[in-house]
A and B are shown apart, each in its own frame.
Chain A
Amino acid sequence: QKEVEQDPGPLSVPEGAIVSLNCTYSNSAFQYFMWYRQYSRKGPELLMYTYSSGNKEDGRFTAQVDKSSKYISLFIRDSQPSDSATYLCAMSRVIQGAQKLVFGQGTRLTINP
């Protein structure tokens, strides 16, 4: 079983819809929880990170972390065609100065105009 599980999709929704992306994890030692966006043939780009349980909002994006359930979510409001990409959840803890990221499989999202 992988440390981080993410439904690979694909997920296709109409423009303007609310998108919900989710990951579960098994390692309770993870300290940081991140969402990355990756466009085709590009490197991952950080969208948001959280340190504790709860919600964090940035514009149209909201990240939620529930450590008791080992479950994280990303919500995208008023989705736009430019949001079409692969979304990767990632988690980490600091060990001897290193912050090794453990990624989910990624969810491919398409926003249809």
Chain B
Amino acid sequence: GAGVSQTPSNKVTEKGKYVELRCDPISGHTALYWYRQSLGQGPEFLIYFQGTGAADDSGLPNDRFFAVRPEGSVSTLKIQRTERGDSAVYLCASSPRRLAGGSSYNEQFFGPGTRLTVL
């Protein structure tokens, strides 16, 4: 079946502009995560959705970053007033169900990412 898809695959913008990055999770997956991967680094957690609500947004670096998932499926990461330091690959991952406790593992399936370059 289809995996996680992300659009656009590449985005080049100018400093100060607004950008939107889209994630289409695997059908039926209720959990959705956004991560950011800077060059030569591992991904870093940004935000987690369970259904429509942002259950944990503790990884968002500042209030220029915002994400929505209005119908519990597609999610959009929005970045206002972009800065050169925002340049990175933005990864989306989805999981099939919400974990009820701490005893069962739930795999996250990653998309290919959106490579954002801020000039």
Contacts and interface: CB of A to CB of B under 8 A. Distances in A.
Q: Do A and B bind each other?
A: yes
B97 to A, nearest CB: 10
Interface of A: 4, 6, 8, 31-32, 41-46, 49, 51, 88, 90, 93-106
Given A93-B102, A98-B56, A99-B99, A105 B42 contact: yes
Given A90-B42, A93-B102, A101-B43, A44 B91 contact: yes
Contacts, number: 75
B29 to A, nearest CB: 13
16 contacts: A8-B40, A41-B115, A43-B4, A43-B110, A43-B113, A49-B105, A93-B102, A96-B55, A97-B55, A97-B98, A97-B99, A99-B31, A99-B105, A105-B42, A106-B40, A106-B42
Interface of B: 4, 31, 33, 35, 40-45, 48, 50, 55-56, 59, 91, 93, 95, 98-102, 105-113, 115
A98 B4 contact: no
Majority-rule SS of B interface residues: loop
A27 to B, nearest CB: 14
Contacts of A44: 43, 91, 110
A97 B99 CA distance: 5
Given A98-B56, A101-B45, A42 B112 contact: yes
